[in-house]
Each structure stands twice: as C-alpha cells, then as structure tokens.
Amino acid sequence: MKILGTGSALPKKVVTNDDLSTFLDTSDAWILPRTGIRSRHVISDEQIEDLGTEAALKALEMSGLKPSDIDYFLCSNVLTEFVTPGLSCIIADKIGLKCPCVDVNCACPGFIFALDIAEAKYKAGQVKNVLIVCCEEPTRMCDWTDRSTCVLFGDGAGAVVLGEGDNVKGVKLNAKPSPGQLWQKRKLHPTPYITKEEVDYPLQMKGREVFRFAVNASTTEVEALLKSLGMSKEQVTYYMIHQANLRIIDAIKEYLGEPERKFPTNIADHGNSSSASCTILLDECNRKGMFKDGDVLVFSAFGAGLLSAAAVLEW
C-alpha cells in the first residue's frame, strides 16, 4: 500500500508543566529533563470520536478519495466512553463510510498493528483503499493525583489513508506478554450472581521496566527488520518513533548510531498520546513538507502488553 493522505486533530486545552505543578507535587524542572515534555493537549469538552473524525476527514481530503472509496476502516483505540459499538463504527457513521469497521486495541503500537492488517488484506487482494484512525485519550486513564503517570500523557487523533502501491516494505510485530508492567482495570456492572471482588484501577506502570523494554524492543526490531529487507541504516530518511519519552528516543538513536536529524519529535508539545502519537507526528511532518518521493520512513512503537512493532515504508 501507499500513504495517500494524513490528518490529525488535537484537543484545544493545552496544559503546561507549570500548570500541573499548581495541584501536583511536580515541576517543569523534574518533568522536562526526564521526559522532554513541556506541555500536552488534554481533552476537556471534546469527544474523542470527534477528534478521530476530524483527523480522518483531513486525511481523506489530502488523499483525494471520497468516503465511498474506502473499503476497510481500522480504528486504533485503547479507551473510549463507548463499550459497544466499537469506536470505528461511531466514526464511520460520522464520516459516512459504508465499509467494514474494525477496532484494534494494541496500545501504543496500535498504528503499526493496524497497518499490518491493512497491508495483509491488500496483498490478499481483499481491499484497495484503507483508512486507519488512531485516537486516544490516555489522560482519562490516569489518576491525576499520581505524578508518576499523569504528567506523561496527552490526547489526540491521527489518521492515514492508504491506497494502491508497494510502499509498505515490511512490518515486524512483537509481543512479550507481561500485563503487570502497564495496565488499567475498570469495574463492570454488577449482576445478582457476581461474588468476586472487582475494583477500578487507574493506569499502573512500572516506568523503569517499560523504559528498558522500549529501548531494547525498538532497536532490536528496527535492526532485524532492515536486515530482513536487505536495507541499511544509511537508506533510512527518518525514524518515526513512538513519542513516549525523549530519553527513550535518544537512547534508541544512540544504540542505532544514527544522527539526530533523522529523528523528528513532537513530544515536547504533545506528551505520550499512545497509538495516536506516530500518526500525529507523521501528519505534522508531512504538512511541513518534510517528505519526498523515495524517502524511507521507519516506524517503531512499544507499550502495554507488552507489545511492540516496527515498519518500513517508502514515501
């Protein structure tokens, strides 16, 4: 497949590190050097499905395709107010899509997992044009009295329209099942028969372990994928790394031995927006005119699961 259009949408409320320090025992002096985050967009009165719809419409407009041209829609999302139907159906209704709608819940690497499905169906001759929307509101998963998690996240949506082409050169997915490293649980409605105890837990994360996993998974997968494709790092134009922590991106850069200019980032103004992160970064870089035909983009993302994934795309 080939990327024909990108789009993104953000909540209007911007929260700076100084804003957080008015109600949390934290500071810009702690957050910025440890994460690279200065501010983040946070949902206030918006609905996540409206941000997903806005991102999708922008991507469709850029692609030149109409909603009726899309024959498969994948929505990557971890949390939404809707339990059912899936967020893909909610957004499809707003856009006027008539094709199958599929939800993907693969945490932060969700975009690459969705891309893998799209490419497999394309290669099987089952689809021609695919819309992927990644929309996330991780700020709604956190305990906002827990400074170790809530300062890290931001909300938003990114979208990609894919059409005919052989520009997806390779995808590598990985799982190291360890749900205890990064998780959240919610309480379900009671029934007359429930005898077990159920509790609501906000997002829990073993930050240092996840940090190590992220650096190790990303570097290993990127090198293995490039090698399997017979490609060298010199051929890579940009590494589009999941924007979780600038120190993670810096460590990946060091391990790969690649120059700073190949690693665009937007974490300073966005924080970690889960699976939306890579697609928002992609759209921002695209709209700045950073990509030209033949450029090689390497995507790499990691998160709850623990899941991780890498992909190589030619622009």
What burial letters (b/e) apply to 259-297, b meaning 16+ CB within 10 Å? eeeebbbbbebbbbbbbbbbbbbbbbbbeeeebeeeebb
Site string for ligand UT7, 25-54 (x = CB under 6 A): -x---xx--xx-------------------
Q: Which residue is nearest to ligand UT7 (CB)?
A: 207
Establish if 211 lies at the interface with ligand UT7 (CB under 6 A): yes
Residue 108 catalytic? yes
Residue 242 catalytic? yes
Total Cβ atoms within 10 A of residue 212: 13
Exposed/middle/buried for residue 64 (C-beta within 10 Å: 0-12, 13-18, 19+): exposed
Establish if 244 lies at the interface with ligand UT7 (CB under 6 A): yes
Please report which helix (H) or strand (E) contains residue 301, including its range: strand 296-303
What is the C-alpha separation between 188 and 201, in angstroms, rounded? 12
Q: In angstroms, what is the minimal distance from the CB of 248 to ligand UT7?
A: 6
Establish if 308 lies at the interface with ligand UT7 (CB under 6 A): no
Residue of 17, 167, 245, 272 marked active site? 272
Residue of 108, 135, 142, 150 marked active site? 108
Establish if 145 lies at the interface with ligand UT7 (CB under 6 A): no
| Residues 6 or more apart in contact with residue 300 via CB below 8 angstroms | 218, 221, 222, 239, 240, 241, 242, 252, 308, 309, 310
Establish if 147 lies at the interface with ligand UT7 (CB under 6 A): yes
Considering only residues 67 through 126, tell me which ones interact with ligand UT7, judged by CB under 6 A: 108
Q: In angstroms, what is the minimal distance from the CB of 274 to ligand UT7?
A: 6
Residues that bind ligand UT7 (CB under 6 A): 26, 30-31, 34-35, 108, 147-148, 151-152, 182, 207-208, 210-211, 214, 244-245, 248, 272, 302-303
Write out the catalytic residue numbers: 108, 242, 272
